[in-house]
Structure 1
Amino acid sequence: MSHEVIKTKEEFVQVLEQYGEFFLLKHSLTCPISGLAQEQYQRFMKETDVPCFSLYVQEARELSNHIADFTGIRHESPQVLQFKEGEAVWHDSHSAITSEKLNQL
């Protein structure tokens, strides 16, 4: 499955409109825990047919804040959100992000 990095609110809206379901990783480029979560997310991406996206918090802070406002889910990093039909239906953060857990969704 392909993996795209999104950076703007416009790209996020396009993803919301285009996909019935997708996952989004909020990733910090400087945090070791986020690096471990990214490894788990990348493993999951190889095992799923659901589209997966990432945003890098340092490069897309405005988008990250917009997603927190849009979903009502407090921003954390790392954080994975699952969207279905335009709504966040699941999220988790930090060391709770594992490929095993993601595959159970």
Structure 2
Amino acid sequence: MNWHQLTQASQLEEIREESQRHPVLIFKHSTRCNISATAKARLERKWKDDEAGDLAPYYLDLVSLRSLSNEIAETFGVRHESPQVLLISKGECVYDASHFDISFDEISQQASRIEFV
């Protein structure tokens, strides 16, 4: 698994554009939360590149970048939670999960349903 660091609001537009070609995953992680650490470790442990395909994973440290986390929630129309994953396709959030509902199997299944022309 190769995380792309999400550190600037300008990257949200890049993610929207990238999601026109393939799905993008945003993982919002609280470095102060044991549940978040567990969810992140479980996602990394279960991640399989061959099943993830073109899914691009982005990582946000929301403790350091809380305003960016809030902007993500507003941009993609989801309620802020932590930890949280958002699956972005064609500029929209098509799936989100939080806490122990974060699962690589569910994310990859959701991503595999997305069709790109």
- State the structure with more CA Rg: 2
- DSSP 3-state at the match of 1:52: strand
Number of aligned residues? 105
Identity rate, percent = 31
Number of the residue aligned with 1:72: 77
C-alpha RMSD over aligned residues: 1.5
Taking a change above 3 Å as real, the CA distance of residues 96 and 8 of structure 1, as seen in their structure-2 partners, is same
Moved over 4 A (4+): none
Gaps of 5+ in 1: none
Question: CA separation in 2, counterparts of 1:9 and 1:74?
Answer: 18
TM-score, normalised to structure 1's length?
A: 0.89
Give the TM-score normalised by the residue count of structure 2: 0.81
Any conservation in 1 of the 2:18–2:24 contact (CA below 8 Å)? no
Which residues of 2 match residues 8-47 of structure 1 at below 5 A? 8-20=8-20, 21-42=23-44, 43-44=46-47, 46=49, 47=51
Give a deviation string over 1:13-59, Cα, whole Å, max 9, x none: 21221233211100000101001110132232644121111101012
